[in-house]
């Protein structure tokens, strides 16, 4: 099941990369990058999954209980979930900057085709 | 010194960045004063750490946030560690940042209060990020400061929104750097999942002698992300574009300091985290050498003065990375020293270029000329900067390049490539200096503005720095670059330092002697060859095949992302093969 997550994350990343490489519309490039970012969210959450382990922070346990008995089920690593939240926050901030730049480009160039926005070259 | 003061050099500019937009409402001069005070504060705290970190044979001191000290070699929180290498870069950042901020805000003192507050805020955020990246000993913390630097660089690139090329550059910078940021993050997270470690020292302990493939892929992702920030070919495409439309002081900040985050990251990764991987060393050598040669070649072909200097940054970063990848005392010490020197002379050259653009309103070498008679002070400054890069003794580039070249002597192919890169660099800078300054120009400029006092102070200080770091090469190499190389080449001691709070380094003898014929004759030969090449290019124009080469660099953001994707594939293949 978790393998499916990794494959989905890889597929999302590849799709995003193909959009960034193949589409000239700047908005679509931004959407492609968002797709790549969402693949990292999926990957981070999937990496956090710990099969048959206990919550990492606790102090001692009652006599007669076992470590695996403490956590009824599977636990996720909170550090990686935290990373996922960080990634989402950064992704939102970057998307906002991206869209602001695209809006200004559209105002100045009257076009959002990447081929019209290539004065700097060589 | 007490290591618990180590966060302060980052806190001061962050505080200054928060205060600047607020205080700018009261008076337009206040952001400048706040910024100067904040950076001077950072400089003082860092200077206070010098005796304990650089004294003797050098040592590593570490601060653990929220006092979460490592338990049984497992880090529980983020650590800030000052090793000689990180401290050198942090000192350089605070010092240069002070000069650049002075120059920037005196040049743009006439802007409205909102603009000047925003400019000072972004500038200090970027400086805080570079200082923090130099001091952090944690992979994800490095990513956080990478992103802080990236976000403020987007703002600075697109700051002058009335210039359409600024928007274009901001967009390309955004696409490539945000891809790089996520690669770095995913790489760090994968390493954490496999090894349970974020701390660099702990990672070095837990990674096995021949890491499994997933760890190698994670390292490849991190390397690709950091190489983008460093501007190594083929990840470099954002760099020349981002430097072209911004004010001189901002280009200087990008070139002299921001790319250091990437260099520092790959250096720490390859020398202090996985020193057992020869494939990473070979990969960085090849990427660095290709960047050194191709960057210098493109610099020779440029017409825009700032773009020329930006391409030269690609070349210099390449040489520094090659030096780091030699993993020899001479090479690493030379690379550390060259990184500091590059900060000094590239900041000087970009400030000169900015002053030329500001005064004349022209950016193209083909339209400039005759500034030697009209602006003698700027001409002297630009010439000193160019001569430093060109390795004219006794200026600073001569010493650091001499060390790097001498470490390559046993590998004839690399040595040859380094010599070619240096000849091309000399030619590029000589051509720029001739066309902009020394060439005769009949018609007068329409209105030639005078440089501001703040800018002149910065220029003179940088000129003095270039000369001092060259004349006093021997003490600097022995007391600065030597301990830095000792820390980089002794990963076990660095790891012990960041996991226990303090650890001494073993002395590493690095010496540089001025009159060594093995250094001085190649340097003079490269100078002569470079000058001849420059004369030929100025007279006969660039050969036709170079136009084909430049056409590959299409300017389309899709192609730039494609270069980076190819680079990622190559890095992944070489490391995880």
ipTM score here? Answer: 0.90
Q: Please report which confidence band the pLDDT of residue A67 belongs to, taking 50, 70 and 90 as the band edges.
A: low
Contacts for A32 with CB less than 8 Å, ≥ 6 apart: A15, A16, A17, A18, A19, A20, A23
Give the residue numbers spanning the domain of A23: 2-53+71-109
Q: Which two tokens stand for residue B427?
A: 């030619």
pTM, full prediction? 0.94
Does residue A115 lie within any of the structural domains?
A: no
B59 bridge partner residues:
B504
The shortest C-alpha distance from A68 to chain B (Å) reads: 19
pLDDT of residue B331: 93
Q: Are B477 and B511 in contact (CB under 8 A)?
A: yes
Q: What is the mean pLDDT of chain B?
A: 92
Contacts for B401 with CB less than 8 Å, ≥ 6 apart: B319, B334, B338, B391, B422, B523
Q: Is A68 on the interface with B (CB under 8 A)?
A: no
With 0-12 / 13-18 / 19 or more C-beta atoms within 10 angstroms meaning exposed / middle / buried, residue B75 is buried
Q: What is the mean pLDDT of chain A?
A: 85
| Distance separating alpha carbons of residues B7 and B79, to the nearest angstrom | 10
Size of interface A-B (CB pairs under 8 A): 118
Q: Which of A18-22, B190-194, B487-491, B518-522 has the lowest mean pLDDT?
A: B518-522
SS3 B111: coil
Contacts for B343 with CB less than 8 Å, ≥ 6 apart: B92, B96, B256, B257, B260
Residues B242-262 pLDDT 10s = 999 998 899 999 999 999 999
pLDDT of residue A28: 95
CATH at residue A82? 1.10.287.3510
| Distance separating alpha carbons of residues B63 and B80, to the nearest angstrom | 5
- Give the phi and the psi of residue A76 in degrees, each rounded to 5: -110, 145
The shortest C-alpha distance from B556 to chain A (Å) reads: 6
| Distance separating alpha carbons of residues B120 and B116, to the nearest angstrom | 6
| Distance separating alpha carbons of residues B178 and B183, to the nearest angstrom | 9
B64 bridge partner residues:
B79
Q: Which of A70-84, B313-327, B533-547 has the lowest mean pLDDT?
A: A70-84
Does residue A39 lie within any of the structural domains?
A: yes
| Distance separating alpha carbons of residues B312 and B255, to the nearest angstrom | 10
What is the chain A residue with the closest CA to B159?
A101
Q: Could A40 and B185 be called an inter-chain contact, meaning their C-beta atoms sit closer than 8 Å?
A: yes
Strands (E) in B227-315, as ranges, are: none
Torsion of CA B462, B468, B471, B475, to 10 degrees: -130
Q: Which of B345, B343, B319 is nearest to B402 (CA)?
A: B319
Does residue A76 lie within any of the structural domains?
A: yes
B175, B240, B298: residue with CB nearest A29? B175
| Domain count for chain A | 1
Instruction: Tell me: pLDDT of B378 over 70.
Output: yes
Q: Is A72 on the interface with B (CB under 8 A)?
A: no
More confident residue, B56 or B284: B284
Q: Which of B135, B221, B270, B309 is nearest to B567 (CA)?
A: B221
Does residue A64 lie within any of the structural domains?
A: no
Does residue A118 lie within any of the structural domains?
A: no
pLDDT of residue B218: 95
Query: Which of chain A's residues have a Cβ under 8 Å away from the Cβ of B554?
Result: 118, 121
CA distances from B212 to B185, B286, B460, B491, B576 (A): 19, 24, 52, 20, 9
Q: Which of B353, B332, B336, B430 is nearest to B389 (CA)?
A: B430
């Amino acid at each position: 099941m978790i393998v499916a997550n990794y494959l989905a994350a890889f597929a999302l990343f590849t799709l995003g990369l193909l959009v960034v490489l193949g589409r000239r519309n700047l908005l679509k490039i931004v959407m492609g990058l968002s797709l790549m970012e969402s693949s990292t969210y999926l990957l981070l959450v999937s990496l956090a999954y710990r099969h048959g382990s206990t919550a990492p922070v606790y102090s001692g346990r009652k006599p007669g209980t076992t470590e695996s008995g403490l956590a009824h089920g599977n636990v996720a690593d909170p550090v990686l979930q935290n990373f996922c939240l960080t990634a989402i926050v950064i992704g939102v901030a970057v998307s906002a900057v991206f869209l602001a730049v695209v809006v200004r480009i559209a105002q100045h160039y009257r076009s959002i085709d990447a081929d019209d926005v290539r004065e700097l070259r060589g | 010194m007490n290591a618990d003061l180590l966060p302060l050099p980052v806190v001061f500019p962050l505080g200054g960045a928060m205060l600047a937009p607020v205080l700018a409402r009261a008076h337009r001069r206040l952001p400048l004063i706040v910024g100067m005070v904040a950076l001077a504060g950072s400089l003082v705290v860092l200077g206070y750490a010098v005796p304990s970190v650089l004294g003797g044979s050098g040592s590593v001191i570490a601060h653990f946030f929220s006092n979460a000290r490592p338990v049984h070699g497992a880090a529980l929180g983020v650590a800030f560690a000052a090793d000689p290498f990180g401290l050198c870069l942090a000192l350089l950042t605070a010092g240069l940042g002070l000069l650049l901020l002075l120059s920037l805000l005196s040049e743009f003192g006439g802007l409205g209060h909102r603009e000047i507050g925003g400019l000072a805020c972004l500038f200090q955020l970027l400086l805080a990020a570079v200082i923090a990246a130099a001091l952090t000993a944690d992979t994800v913390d490095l990513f956080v400061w990478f992103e802080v630097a990236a976000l403020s660089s987007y703002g600075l690139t697109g700051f002058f929104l009335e210039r359409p090329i600024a928007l274009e550059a901001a967009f390309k910078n955004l696409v490539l750097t945000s891809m790089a940021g996520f690669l770095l993050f995913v790489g760090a997270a994968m390493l954490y999942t496999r090894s349970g470690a974020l701390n660099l020292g702990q990672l070095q302990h837990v990674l096995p002698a021949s890491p499994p493939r997933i760890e190698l892929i994670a390292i490849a992702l991190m390397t690709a992300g950091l190489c983008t920030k460093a501007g190594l070919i083929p990840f470099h495409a954002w760099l020349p574009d981002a430097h072209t439309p911004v004010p001189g002081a901002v280009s200087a900040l990008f070139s002299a300091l921001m790319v250091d985050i990437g260099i520092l990251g790959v250096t720490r990764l390859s020398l202090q985290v996985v020193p057992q991987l020869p494939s990473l060393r070979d990969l960085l050598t090849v990427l660095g050498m290709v960047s050194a040669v191709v960057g210098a070649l493109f610099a020779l072909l440029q017409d825009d003065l700032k773009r020329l200097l930006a391409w030269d940054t690609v070349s210099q970063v390449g040489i520094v990375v090659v030096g780091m990848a030699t993993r020899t005392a001479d090479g690493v010490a030379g690379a550390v020293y060259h990184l500091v020197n590059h900060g000094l002379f590239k900041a000087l050259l970009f400030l000169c270029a900015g002053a030329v653009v500001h005064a004349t309103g022209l950016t193209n070498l083909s339209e400039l000329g005759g500034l030697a008679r009209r602006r003698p002070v700027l001409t002297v400054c630009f010439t000193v900067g160019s001569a430093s890069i060109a390795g004219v003794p006794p200026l600073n580039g001569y010493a650091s390049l001499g060390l790097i070249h001498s470490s390559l002597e046993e590998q004839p192919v690399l040595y040859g490539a380094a010599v070619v890169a240096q000849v091309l660099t000399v030619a590029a800078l000589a051509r720029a200096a001739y066309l902009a300054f020394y060439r005769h120009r009949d018609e007068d400029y329409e209105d030639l503005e005078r440089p501001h006092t703040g800018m002149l102070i910065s220029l003179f200080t940088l000129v003095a720095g270039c000369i001092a770091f060259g004349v006093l090469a021997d003490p600097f190499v022995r007391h600065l670059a030597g301990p830095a190389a000792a820390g980089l080449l002794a990963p076990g001691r660095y790891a012990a330092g960041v996991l226990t709070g303090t650890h001494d380094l073993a002395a590493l003898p690095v010496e540089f002697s001025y009159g060594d014929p093995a250094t001085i004759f190649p340097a003079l030969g490269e100078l002569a060859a470079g000058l001849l090449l420059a004369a030929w290019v100025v007279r006969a124009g660039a050969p036709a095949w170079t136009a084909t080469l430049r056409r590959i660099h299409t300017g389309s953001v899709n192609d730039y992302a494609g270069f980076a994707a190819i680079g990622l594939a190559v890095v992944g293949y070489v490391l995880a093969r």
